[in-house]
Amino acid sequence: MISKSSPKDLIESFPHSKLTPIATATTEPDYLSLHQLQWEINDNAESLSSTLGDGQHGHLFLVVSETEYLAMTDGVPCIPPVQPPLDPDHAANATAPQILEANRQNDKRQKLFDLYHNANKAFRNQLLDAIPIEYIESLGHPTRGFNKVSPLDILSHLWETFGTIQASDLIANDERMKAAWHPPTPIQQLFQQLEKGNQFIIASGQIMDERIIARIGYQIIEKTGLFDHASRDWRYKDEADKTLANFKNTFFRRPIKTAPSPPPAVPPAIIPQIKVQSAKVNRTAGLTALSTTRNTQVRRVRNKPLVTRSRPPCRTNKVVRLRLTSTLLRQPN
C-alpha cells in the first residue's frame, strides 16, 4: 500500500496518469474510444493494490460492474470499508499492549477507508478530464456537481448511451482487419490486428468463423510475396486445420524471401578532356612563353652575384722601398 493516498498523488502513480480523450465537442464517443478508455482506467485500478474483495485485482471493483467483478473473483464480492471511529473504545481492564494493538488496527482501517475513497475520487477526476462535459452533464447535480457521482456511474452511462456498435462501425472494423502489412514490421502486429478485429465482432454480438479470419490474414501475407514456403505449407493444409492458431504457427518466424542484391555499379570511365585551341591562340601562347623564358634568363643573369678577385700587391712599390732603405744605410753618420 502506498504511503501517500491523496487523489493527486494516486493519479501521478498510475500507469496512465492522463486518459485518452474519447470525444470532442463535435465528435461523439463510440465503441472503440470507450473500449480504450475502459482499458486504461482498468489498468490504473488494478495497479493500485487493495486487500478488499479477493485481494488480487486492486481497486478494479470501482470501475467495473459487480457482475463482471464477481466473474473474475469466482464470486468473492468487495465490501466497501466503513469509516472507523476517531478514538477507538477500549475495555476497562485493557492492558497497555492491548490498547496499542487496538489503536494500530483502528489506524489500519482508517488508511484502508481513506485509500478507497481517494481512489474513487482519482478515477472520477480522470474521467472528467477525458470526457467533454456535454456527454455526462445529465449525471451532475445543479449545485454539488459530480461530487456524489462514482466513476462506475459515469462509465455505465457512457456505455449505455454510446457503446452500441453500428453497421458503419462493423464496416470500418472490416477495413482495419484487412489493412496491408509488410516486413520489416513484426508479424505480431498482423496477428494483433486480426485479434482486435475478432474481438470487435464478438462485442457486436456476432460471431465470425476463425477460419475466415485466418483466410484474411493469409491474403494479406500472400500480397507481400515473401513467404513462399510458408504459403505453400498453408495451402496444403486441410480446410478444417486452417484455424487462426495454426495460421500463427505456420507464419511465425518463417524465413522471408529476400530479393537478390543488384550487381555493383561500374563507375564510368574517365576520359581526359582535350581543349582544342585555334592557330592564332596557339601562336600567341607560344610567343608569350618565349618572352617569359627570355625574361627569366635575363633576370637570372642580372641577379647572379658578382665574383670579385683580390688584386695582387704591386711589386714596384716594394722594390722602391728596398732601394731607399739601402741608400740610407750607406750614408755616413
Q: What is the pLDDT of residues 37-48, one digit of tens each?
A: 999 999 999 999
Phi then psi for residue 140, to 5 deg, are -80, 160
Q: What letter would DSSP give residue 305?
A: P
The answer to whether 229 and 254 are in contact (CB under 8 A) is: yes
Of the candidates 215, 213, 180, 221, the one whose C-alpha atom is nearest the C-alpha of residue 197 is 213
d(CA 116, CA 20): 24
Q: Sign of the C-alpha dihedral, residues 224, 228, 230, 236?
A: positive
The residue with cell 470526457 is 131
Q: What is the pLDDT of residue 90?
A: 84
Phi, psi for 145 (deg, rounded to 5): 65, -130
Cα distances from 197 to residues 92, 192, 194, 234, 249, in angstroms, run 67, 8, 5, 22, 19
Mean pLDDT of 151-163: 96
Residue keyed to cell 455526462: 136
What is the C-alpha separation between 197 and 189, in angstroms, rounded?
A: 12
Does residue 238 carry a pLDDT above 50?
yes
How many angstroms from the chain centroid is the CA of residue 261? 31
Instruction: Evaluate the omega torsion of the peptide bond into residue 184 and state whether it is cis, within 30 degrees of 0.
Output: yes
DSSP 228: H
Task: Give the pLDDT confidence score for residue 61 in this predicted structure.
Answer: 96
The rounded distance, in Å, linking the Cα atoms of 200 and 31 is: 9
Whole-angstrom distance, CA of residue 317 vs CA of residue 73: 143
Mind listing the pLDDT tens digit for each residue in 86-104?
888 888 888 888 889 888 9
Give the pLDDT confidence of 170-199 residue by residue, as tens digits. Answer: 999 999 999 999 999 999 999 999 999 999
Structural domain boundaries in the chain? 7-162, 167-251
CA 214 – CA 190 distance, rounded (Å): 11
Question: Where does residue 238 fall: left (phi above 0), alpha (psi -120 to 50 degrees), or beta otherwise?
Answer: beta
Question: What does the pLDDT read at residue 282?
Answer: 52
For position 273, what pLDDT does the model report? 58
- pLDDT greater than 50 at residue 12: yes
Reported as a single tens digit per residue, the pLDDT across 260-308 is: 555 666 666 565 555 555 545 455 555 454 455 444 444 444 555 555 5
DSSP 8-state assignment for residue 90: -
pLDDT-derived band at 330, boundaries 50, 70, 90: low
Confidence of residue 121 (pLDDT cuts 50, 70, 90): very high
Average confidence score pLDDT of the chain = 83
Do the beta carbons of residue 274 and residue 241 sit within 8 Å?
A: no
The answer, yes or no, to whether residue 18 has pLDDT greater than 60, is yes
Collapse the DSSP code of 178 into the 3-class scheme (helix H, G, I; strand E, B; otherwise coil) and give the result. Answer: coil
Contacts 24+ apart (CB under 8 A), 248-255: 248/191, 251/187, 251/217, 251/221, 251/227, 252/187, 254/227, 254/229, 254/230, 255/229
Q: Does pLDDT of 213 surpass 90?
A: yes
Length of the chain (residues): 333
